[in-house]
Structure 1
Amino acid sequence: MVARAYKRIAFGVLLLYVLYLAGGIALAATGVLSKVYFFPGWALKAPSHDASAFAPDGPIVRYQSGAALSTAIVPRGAGLLIQTDTLTDPARSTVRCYVNETGTSFTVPLHPRHTVEPSEYPAPAKMLVVSDIEGNFKGLDLLLRTTGVVDSAYRWRFGNGHLVVVGDVFDRGLQVTECLWLLYKLEQEAARAGGKVHFILGNHELMNLTGHYKYVRRKYRRNADSLRLDYAAWYGPETELGRWLRTKNVVEKIGSTLFVHGGISPEVLGLRPTLAALNEQARNRLDAPPARNPAGLAKVLASPQLSPDWYRGLAQQEASAGHVQQVLTQYGVRRMVIGHTPVTEITPLYGGKVVAIDLPHQENTDEQQLMKALWIENGRFYAIRTDTSRREEL
């Protein structure tokens, strides 16, 4: 009798869970909910009903015959103007980025050259770490200003501190280009001050750089049509932002912390690649045609479920504690920081050896005018909020 009663209770709980998921997915599909939680700390983001349209954007800087063309959509009176400038000496040129969301703009000197980023760095005294900005310029602006990384004119004020962006600046939001240019600009200023901007490639960067545009907003398709410049060419190897992005890594070690957008899967770890080899192989995939019969690391990286930019086993705690420790030991670190899989708060996992930081930034910005991020100072990890000066140690 008791066993039968437990079975009925278990069946009832399961039925309620199934009904919850079915209802949640239905509401997400109609736009009532923005995400559906499968269990605490993990949610499925709902597709948006996209009404975005032709709007300010750019600049898009493309190289042709030793010169460069800078094309932008800018406000002009009550309308919009497509503005194209020829940069005869790109290495000494600047472009101006207008941000429609905030009504502000900033000037960006173009890099004279691009070099591939190292895979390992010594630890600075302080780091601000954020992931999954997803085109939310207002939120990024709020976060950087209130934490003292930039001033009101978007100038670097973080000294020798490091700003770490753990992937997914692309897609979902409407200010992707502007976020990219701001990080590009701050990278130069940080270097002059002895600091550093780290841009880790996430799955949405890799998707946009390899021709997968499922999550690109309608605005960008409309803008591409108006510019008569296919979106596929916006971040190609003959563009300034495209060249810059192709110098970035999918995983970096900073001091005793490993930063990776998705995570290190058992399949990747089993091949024991160095960080440099892992990053080189990931970059090689960006412009090379798909191999017919990839093997080894190339084969693993070609599988989204296993690649560092997409693997969710750590965030979902499906990987064993032994695997986590093996990753830390292999790369000589004490902790990993990951994004990609949504959490409601900065969440330590595996006894604090993994820290998940993909927060609902757009919702927090829209509803509460706040941003949350990870702050690392002298090796100690803190959760910070932009509406208070208090830091909560993890």
Structure 2
Amino acid sequence: MDYSAGKVTGKVTCGDLPLLISSFIDTFIDFTVSDLFFPPPLSQDLNPVPSLSKSSYPSPERLVAIGDLHGDLQKSKLAFRLAGLIDTSDRWIGGSTTVVQIGDVLDRGDDEIKILYFLDKLKLEAAKAGGTIFTMNGNHETMNVESDFRFVTKGGLDEFKNWAYWYSIGNEMKSLCDGLPKPKDIFHGIPSSFANVKQDCHDGIRARIAALRPKGPIASRFLSKNFTVLVVGESVFVHGGLMPNHVTYGFDKINEEVRDWLIGLKEKVSPEIHRSSNSLVWLRKFSHEAADKCDCSTLEHVLATIPGARRMIMGHTIQVKGINTACNDQAIRIDVGMSKGCIDGFPEVLEIERNSGLKVLTSNPLFQNRDDRTHAESASKERFGFLIPEHSPKPIQVEA
């Protein structure tokens, strides 16, 4: 009997009934809290989740980078649709495309859990079609793991409260089956009330702590599969930025330590990885919107110590002018504040095709209806201006 690929193989007997019941309950809970039907299980030779023990991957034919989503499911889907990755029914049509979502799914919006499920579903569908989706942790993921809920919305608390209700119902159903281990109370050790918190928020906060604390169901299932730093071809992806000490420490080690922390195998992670102002998820030295205020010399040094690296792609700091570059195109900033909880920006994604440079795909109407190529190039210069050097042979193209 084999359950490793999410399906039963071989002859099913009465003794298998508890596991089948557990699988049915889990599927029912997933659908109830996410409104999603997941695709059929993958064969064992297809793994939708790239291993965190490997932080560097070869350059694909097509690479798409998507910035901070912050709880806005509608804008998240628009970004994927803009890149031709999903159809109008939200099914993967991106073929063998590789996608990197740069982190900050949590906070500022009401659909955080739904986005996590949405990305998980697309990982399965993409893997089946030969594509890959990498997801990453941002500072808002690590903040929530440590119960820092400063940027949570009331709708976000309600979503986690709803999740906890159904998850607890599922555990009660499993506890009735003699062939299954008794589930642990997800609220174990969490206070029933909190000082200086509105009465109607207590249950949502308890649910959020239960879900996102180390070893919590949401942290373990979703966040633990996220990268903290990732290299794909010539591009280094990180939510905030990298300093020389991070390169010396080792990317594989960073990813594994954060994962072990999230699944409860490690008590804490170095502040230089996830908490200090110079950590990977908080750094802003290369993302200031004024290019002349970026620490380009440090960035150049960091990239020079990473074999084959040509550019660093970051989120974290909202770029009100949209996706842009700095430091002679070595810093690519892709957080456009698209969430309604941020600046309600126009969805944009970065596309990198082998041998054809960088391209911004945008929903901004300013860059639509540009049949005349001269007008398109003029609009691109007007928009990016000082951020793209005049001598650059391949400025970022802007396409609607």
* TM interval, short-chain normalised: 0.5 to 0.7
DSSP-derived class of the 1:127 partner: strand
Within 5 Å, give how 1:56-205 maps onto structure 2: 88-89=22-23, 93=27, 95-96=30-31, 105-108=35-38, 116-117=51-52, 118-205=54-141
Q: Cα 1:285–1:135, aligned 2, differ >3 Å: closer, same or farther?
A: same
Tell me how far apart the structure 1 counterparts of residues 209 and 341 of structure 2 sit (CA, whole Å).
Answer: 31
Give TM-score, length-normalised by structure 2. 0.66
Query: Relative to 1, partners in 2 of residues 1:220 and 1:268: Cα closer, same or farther, differing over 3 Å?
Result: same
Q: Does 1:301 align with 2:273?
A: yes
SS of the aligned residue for 2:316 comes to strand
Residues 167 and 302 (structure 1), Cα distance of their counterparts in 2 relative to 1, 3 Å cut: closer
1:334 and 2:302 are equivalent in the alignment: no
1:177 to 1:204, Cα distance in 2 relative to 1, 3 A: same
Q: 8 Å contact 1:97–1:108 — kept in the other structure?
A: no
2:255 corresponds to which letter in structure 1? Answer: N
- Partner letter of residue 250 of structure 1? T
Q: Provide the alpha-carbon RMSD of the alignment.
A: 3.3
Q: Are 1:248 and 2:226 matched, yes or no? A: yes
Task: Show the counterpart of 2:242.
Answer: 264
Aligned mates of 2:39, 2:25 — CA distance in 1:
8
Residue 324 of structure 1 aligns with an amino acid whose one-letter code is L
Matched, 1:348 2:325: yes
Distance 1:143 1:115, change over 3 A: closer
Secondary structure at the aligned position of 1:134 is classed as coil
Paired with 1:146 and 1:67, the residues of 2 have a C-alpha distance of 43
Distance in 2 of aligned mates of 1:218 and 1:210? 19
Describe the SS at the equivalent of 1:234: helix
Stretches of structure 1 that go unaligned for 5 or more consecutive residues are 1-65, 69-85, 100-104, 292-297
Are residues 92 and 331 of structure 1, via their aligned partners in 2, closer, same or farther at CA, if it must alter by over 3 Å? Answer: same
Residue 384 of structure 1 is matched in structure 2 by: 361
User: Counterparts of 1:259 and 1:231 in 2: how far apart (Å)?
Assistant: 28
Q: Which has the higher helix share?
A: 2
Change (3 A) 1:330 1:179: same
**Distance (whole Å) between structure 2 residues aligned to residue 192 and residue 115 of structure 1:** 13
Q: Structure 2: which 5+ runs fail to align?
A: 1-16, 166-202, 371-375, 381-394
Judging changes above 3 Å, is the alpha-carbon distance between structure 1 residues 125 and 340 closer, same or farther for their aligned structure 2 residues? same
Change (3 A) 1:365 1:299: closer
Task: Tell me which residue corresponds to 1:325.
Answer: 300
Deviation at 1:221, TM superposition (A): 2.9
Following superposition, the deviation at residue 244 of structure 1 comes to 2.8
* Distance in structure 1 (CA, Å) of the matches to 2:335 and 2:68: 6
2:211 is the alignment partner of 1:234: yes
Distance apart, 1:304 and its partner CA? 2.3
Following TM superposition, by how much is the alpha carbon of 1:196 offset from its aligned partner in structure 2, in angstroms?
A: 0.5
Determine helix, strand or coil for the equivalent of 2:225: coil
Matches of 2:157 and 2:118, distance apart in 1? 22
SS at match of 2:92: coil
Q: Is the 8 A contact 1:132 1:358 kept in 2?
A: yes
Give percent identity, aligned residues only.
Answer: 24
Number of equivalences: 298
Contact 2:109 2:156 (8 Å CA) reproduced: no
Deviation at 1:205, TM superposition (A): 1.1
- Change in CA separation of 1:222 and 1:175 when aligned onto 2, cut-off 3 Å: closer
- Offset at 1:225? 5.3
Shift of 1:350: 0.4
The Cα of 1:126 is off from its aligned counterpart by: 1.1
Q: Is the 8 A contact 1:335 1:354 kept in 2?
A: yes
Instruction: Identify which of 245, 268, 286 aligns with 1:314.
Output: 286
C-alpha distance in structure 1 between counterparts of 2:57 and 2:147, whole Å:
31
* Cα-to-partner distance string for 1:23-77 (whole Å, 9 max, x where unaligned): xxxxxxxxxxxxxxxxxxxxxxxxxxxxxxxxxxxxxxxxxxx989xxxxxxxxx
Considering Cα pairs closer than 8 Å and 6+ residues apart, tell me whether 1 or 2 has the greater RCO: 2
Residue of structure 2 equivalent to 1:283: 259
Q: In the aligned structure 2, how far is the partner of 1:276 from the partner of 1:169?
A: 23
| AA of the residue aligned to 1:235 | L
Amino acid at match of 2:217: T
* 1:162 CA drift (Å): 1.3
| 1:266 CA drift (Å) | 4.2
The answer on whether the counterparts of 1:258 and 1:336 sit within 8 Å (CA) in structure 2 is: yes
Q: Aligned-pair distance for 1:389? A: 8.2
Q: Distance in 1 between matches of 2:37 and 2:326?
A: 41
For the residues of structure 1 that align with 2:283 and 2:211, how far apart are their CA atoms? 27
- SS at 2:236 equivalent: strand
Q: What is the DSSP-based 3-state SS (H/G/I as helix, E as strand, rest coil) of the residue aligned with 2:253?
A: helix
Distance 1:149 1:243 in 2: 24
Q: Which amino acid in structure 2 is aligned with residue 142 of structure 1?
A: L
Instruction: Considering fraction of residues, name the structure with more strand.
Output: 1
Give the TM-score taking structure 1 as reference length: 0.67
